[in-house]
Amino acid sequence: MTEFERFDGVDGFDGFDRSPPALLPLRTTNEERDRAAEVAVLPIGSFEQHGPYLPLTTDTVIAVTIAAAIDAAYPVLRLPPITISCSHEHAAWAGTVSISATTLTAVVHDVAESLRRSGVGSLVLVNGHGGNYVLSNVVQEAGPAGGSMALFPSLEAWSTARTAAGIVTSIDDDMHAGELETSLLLHAHPHLVRPGYESSDHLAADREHLLTLGLAAYTESGVVGRPSLASAEKGRDVLASLVTSFAETLAALAALGR
């Protein structure tokens, strides 16, 4: 039986749609014309190791999952993701691929300009990868004078979501493939989580020279955090909290008055 046949429902299909949230936006141009969104959301992920139990695309899956949840709650134009970004500190592990901060900046600028030309004045970068430091500068430069741009989730939005979901590990300890990321995937895309997260905890509080030495100086498996504490329920509550917090980002953009 092929995948196509399975989703076509010819064989053993019982009428229930168990497919996870679509990773790519699937509306037509006419549907977007009728929605006439004034704010676009651009998910930005990465292609980097996430330990032995989460896929290289984890940050992308998380960014598009957040964007899809936002899309379901607010009238936004949801864009397809940028799937490769600044993961240089993970280069020691197989499969990891990066682009430079300069290239990422250029792509975001081009997308923002293309949106402006088509009448969508505001852009929210939904970032799933902490190593994309440069995005803060892109939004900073856009500022109140020139552009209409925001970075989401903010540190405050993540922090609120962690508390709301009962995430135990601190933001600093839960750095990579830990409690938060594993919970989000267990909730939204459980078929992507391999066995092993239950017994892969590794803490490395001191990562002072991370950017100089790379992450491999601090973890053998690539994990920094406590994935054994992850649960689908925590992932669900993190996502719900982020969707609520997004209203404040929209309000900030609206305050710009364009």
Site residues (CB under 5 A) for Zn ion? 58-59
Q: Which is closer to Zn ion, CB of 59 or CB of 71?
A: 59
Q: How far is the CB of 95 from Zn ion (least distance, A)?
A: 14
Q: Which is closer to Zn ion, CB of 58 or CB of 98?
A: 58
Of 170, 189, 169, which is closest to residue 230 (Cα–Cα)? 169
User: Within 10 Å of residue 47's Cβ, how many Cβ atoms?
Assistant: 21
Q: How far is the CB of 181 from Zn ion (least distance, A)?
A: 5
Angle at 62 between CA 59 and CA 64, to 5 degrees: 110
Q: How far is CA 18 from the centre of its chain?
A: 22
Q: How far is the CB of 151 from Zn ion (least distance, A)?
A: 16
Burial degree of 244 (CB within 10 A; 0-12, 13-18, 19+): middle
Alpha helices in 11-168 (DSSP H): 29-35, 58-73, 101-117, 134-142, 155-165
Q: Which is closer to Zn ion, CB of 56 or CB of 112?
A: 56
Q: Which is closer to Zn ion, CB of 59 or CB of 237?
A: 59
Burial degree of 222 (CB within 10 A; 0-12, 13-18, 19+): buried
Strand pairing partners for 42? Answer: 125
Q: How far is the CB of 91 from Zn ion (least distance, A)?
A: 15
Q: Which is closer to Zn ion, CB of 52 or CB of 121?
A: 52
Q: Sheet holding 149-152: strands in order across?
A: 77-78, 39-44, 122-127, 149-152
Q: Which residue is nearest to Zn ion (CB)?
A: 59
Strand pairing partners for 52? Answer: 50
Q: Is the dihedral of CA 136, 61, 73, 117 positive or negative?
A: positive
Q: How far is the CB of 192 from Zn ion (least distance, A)?
A: 13
Q: How far is the CB of 58 from Zn ion (least distance, A)?
A: 5
Q: Which is closer to Zn ion, CB of 59 or CB of 179?
A: 59
Q: Which is closer to Zn ion, CB of 58 or CB of 65?
A: 58
Of 50, 5, 61, which is closest to residue 174 (Cα–Cα)? 50
Euclidean distance between CA atoms 174 and 59, whole angstroms: 14
Q: How far is the CB of 176 from Zn ion (least distance, A)?
A: 6
